[in-house]
Chains A and B, each alone.
Chain A
Amino acid sequence: MGGLDGEHDVAALIPMVRRVVGARVTDPDVADDLVQETLVRVLGATQRVEPGMLEPYAIVTARNVVASMWKAQDRHRRNQHRVVDLRPAAAPDENLLAGEEHVAIAEALGRLSERERRTLLAHEVTGQDTRTLADELGSSAGAVAAQLNRSRARLRVEYLLALEQREPETDRCRPVLLALSSGERRRQQEVDAGRHLLECQLCARLSQPLLQRGHPRDDQVRIPIHSDADIVRARQGARELAARLAFSKTDLTVIATAVSEMARNIVRFAAPGEIVAELLEAPRLGVQVVARDTGPGILDVEQALTDGYSTYHGLGMGLPGARRLMDEFAVASEVGRGTTVTMTKWQPEGRR
């Protein structure tokens, strides 16, 4: 049995391993951990290593242990503040997940253009500031910062896709996810992100971490509409939001009633859908409510807006009634895809 001998030999290596690690790592606690780790590995290898070669083997192992700690730290530093929360979860599959995330990040980086990737890495990893990068690229610091933001937005999207190992099902998916990732509201409206999320399950799932990122929007409430209990939630949500402006109690009730009608339409004909209420600042203060559904669509919008027209028991109040209640009212419907109703109530002039 060479076990005892091996242990004795390894013990003799301790001062040397300490020197090797100590020369690279200043924190004594961390150094101690690394020395221990090195010794464990050397001990495990004593059977395989030629007797005279134990010392060089220990030196190489010590260096490797230090280097892999640096790599891990660097990876953590690079990733922690952007895409998702990479703080390790205390679960048995932790290592596996971390490995998958690592692969996903690498793949996502690979999908950026060469120029995008170089600039992003120079900024995030090497720590070059935007001014230096701008000089190199013959551009301005502001433009570089904007480009970096776009690159990060793309990286987040590509990372999520790589992690799911899925390719988007439609050519609308990427633009929508990008708009959500960059947080640009105008762009989100242009690509009709809200409707796409109702229609595309993959994007609905992938958008969760993107939407949770950054500052939560406090000038918007979004209520998914599936069943009649959601009707009450939708009108209460819209009322609470509108109450932050100087609407009268009557106006608040009017808004809540209109929201209730729209939510009811969704439940009756076209669930699932959603109601999104949003405060507007321009051109005037007001509240805008968008009711989206994935239903059959309305064949004849003009007719549906006529009083008394109804497809269910004796009520024709839904659309025309809500139109009377609100200041602005627009219906966009596509048969087979769904309906989007956008309605606005302006805060009366002169109120503060």
Chain B
Amino acid sequence: MNTPALVSILRQGHYLIASIHTALDDSQMIRFQQDLIEQIGHHRSRGVIIDVAALDVLDSFGSLSLRNIAEMARLRGALTVIVGVQPDVAFAMVELGMGTGSVHTALDLEEGLVYLESRVANAVTDMTLGISG
């Protein structure tokens, strides 16, 4: 690809840090979803951080995609945190009637890492109980 990457998925120890750099259309979002799920298996990751700070809009499809990613990641044995939801985006999501459901969120990357550190040790127990966040 000649164009700058739309998303980057970086490995950080047991975790994957996925940053969305620009507004994604639906097909790009679905590809991102597939890539991420694949990489979880490849790196045997225990946690995933999705940074959405660059997203201008999270509409119904965007929100649902994030929820789906988190659920697929959970089924693959990794815990997901969404970080960087902008205040305007948060406002619009709530007005629209969408949210990230049960997916955990954190203010920024640092908070997200702190959360994963605190939870991944217990994650296995949580998952067997069906609690993901």
Q: Which residues of A contact B (CB under 8 A)?
A: 228-229, 231-232, 235-236, 239, 249-250, 252-254, 256-258, 260-261, 264, 267, 307, 314-315, 317-318, 320-322, 324-325
Contacts and interface: CB of A to CB of B under 8 A. Distances in A.
B98 interface: yes
A252 B23 contact: no
Given A253-B89, A325-B95, A315 B56 contact: no
A307 B60 CA distance: 13
Nearest to A322: B96
B27 A321 contact: no
B64 A254 contact: no
Contacts, number: 78
Contact of B60 (A232, A239, A261): A261
A307 B93 CA distance: 15
B25 interface: yes
A127 B87 CA distance: 63
Nearest to B23: A232
Nearest to A265: B60
A320 B24 CA distance: 24
Q: How many B residues touch the partner, as a band? A: 20 to 34
B108 interface: no
Contact of A249 (B25, B88, B97, B98): B88
Nearest to B98: A317
Interface centre among B24, B64, B96 (most CB of A within 10 A): B96
**SS of A interface (majority):** helix
Nearest to A326: B95
Contacts of B58: 257
B127 interface: no
Given A253-B91, A261-B60, A264-B59, A317 B25 contact: no
B126 interface: no
B35 interface: no
B97 A324 contact: yes
B96 A231 contact: no
Contacts of A318: 60
Interface of B: 23-27, 56-61, 64, 86-89, 91-93, 95-98
A256 B91 CA distance: 12
Contacts of A324: 95-97
Given A250-B92, A321-B96, A260 B59 contact: yes
A289 to B, nearest CB: 14
B4 to A, nearest CB: 16
A284 B30 CA distance: 41
Contacts of B25: 228-229, 231-232
A321 B64 CA distance: 14
B64 A325 contact: no
A267 B25 CA distance: 12
Given A264-B59, A317-B60, A320-B97, A231 B88 contact: no
B88 A235 contact: no
Contact of A325 (B56, B87, B89, B92): B92
Nearest to A310: B60
B26 A321 contact: no
A254 B64 CA distance: 18
Contact of B97 (A236, A267, A321): A321
B97 to A, nearest CB: 5
Contacts of A317: 59-60, 96-98
